[in-house]
Structure formats: structure tokens, C-alpha cells
Amino acid sequence: MMLSIIEYKAACKKTIIFLEEAGFILNKDEKNRIQVVEYGLDNLELIGLQLVEYINTERCCAKELVLFRRQTCPEHRHPEINGKLGKEETFRCRRGIVYLYVEGIPTLNIHAKLPIGKEHTFTVFHEIVLKPGDQYTIMPNTRHWFQAGEDGAIISEFSTKSIDEKDIYTDKEIIADCNRIVEENI
């Protein structure tokens, strides 16, 4: 399944409102380039995210990641590509609460709610709670996933070059570059 144009436009509109309410100013071009990533799972409300990419060059990338209430970015890692280290990324929470999970000693009682039916696709549970102003750097090839709290969240991502379609997901049903399919059909 793929998002319909109506679902895509609704998610974009909601993203713009969410960012503007938090004081972010997007120009017309940025509003027209919002990506809605539903990973081919047809469950955007639970598994997916919305993003605005400001820049993505050979050396750096900057994005705003928007997650609505309890929306989850699934577990993945950024592998080595053609002999080059995978993406290193720093998440800085701007709004809401983000529950970030990385490799390490598992947290006993995590705050995230695993999406029903997808529990087996989450394997790392070392919890880092990010509140506005907090940040965390994820090193290349580190398995991680994250979820917004009850009020949704905005994360500024600063990273090395982003090649999202090369990410490796724990959930083998995921289509890594499905957001590009949606954009091409609009």
C-alpha cells in the first residue's frame, strides 16, 4: 500500500501547522518539499514521520523531523556505503518529548509503546529521553529507533550525508525509500 494523495497532503498540512506553532518558519519551497515517510507499512499514525530537509550535501545534512502523538521511526542503522562510514547524526529535541533507543544496557521500563504486531522488530532498548534543548549523537551503524511522546515532537537532525534509501531496517517489511514513491505520484 501507499499513501493516497489526500493522506499525503493532510500529513503535510498538519506538519506545517505543527512546525509553525513551535515558531519554525518555512518558505514556500520548503513547504512543498515536505516528505511523509510511512515505510510502506500503511500505518502512518503509528509508524512513520514527516520531515523537511534543508540541505543534504556530500559533507552535511540538516532536517527537521516531525513526529505526531506516539508516532515511531522504526529500528534501523546507517551502514557503511562504498567503503565510507555510515551517517553520523545528532538529534536535538525542539518540542515535545522524544524517547530514543540505542544499543546498550536495556532500560527496564521503557516509556515508548511498541506498535502492536511489530514488537519483534524492535531489539534495542537503551532509553534516552530527550526534552527540548537536549541532544544526542548516534554514531554510524548503530541500531536505533525513536518515538514521540503524547504531544508529538520536533527533532532537528544534523548529520553527515543522508542516504536514507540505504538504511537497514530490522523490520524486513519496510520499504526504505517509499516516501520518494509518494512524491513522484503527486
d(CA 53, CA 158): 10
User: How many CA atoms within 13 Å lie on the side-chain side of 51?
Assistant: 22
Rounded mean pLDDT, 158-165? 95
d(CA 176, CA 186): 19
Rounded mean pLDDT, 142-151? 98
pLDDT band at 1 (very low <50, low <70, confident <90, very high): low
Beta partners for residue 138, in sequence order = 89
pLDDT digits (tens, 9 = 90+) for 8-34: 999 999 999 999 999 999 999 999 999
State the pLDDT at residue 31.
97
pLDDT averaged over every residue in the chain: 94
Domains and CATH numbers, the chain: 5-184 (2.60.120.10)
Say whether pLDDT at 132 is over 50.
yes
pLDDT digits (tens, 9 = 90+) for 25-74: 999 999 999 999 999 999 999 999 999 999 999 999 999 999 999 999 99
C-alpha distances in Å from residue 31, one per residue of 131, 134, 137? 25, 26, 27
pLDDT band at 178 (very low <50, low <70, confident <90, very high): low
**Is the Cβ–Cβ distance between 161 and 20 less than 8 Å?**
no
Does residue 50 sit in helix, strand or coil? Answer: strand
pLDDT digits (tens, 9 = 90+) for 75-98: 999 999 999 999 999 999 999 999
State the pLDDT at residue 3.
85
d(CA 36, CA 48): 8
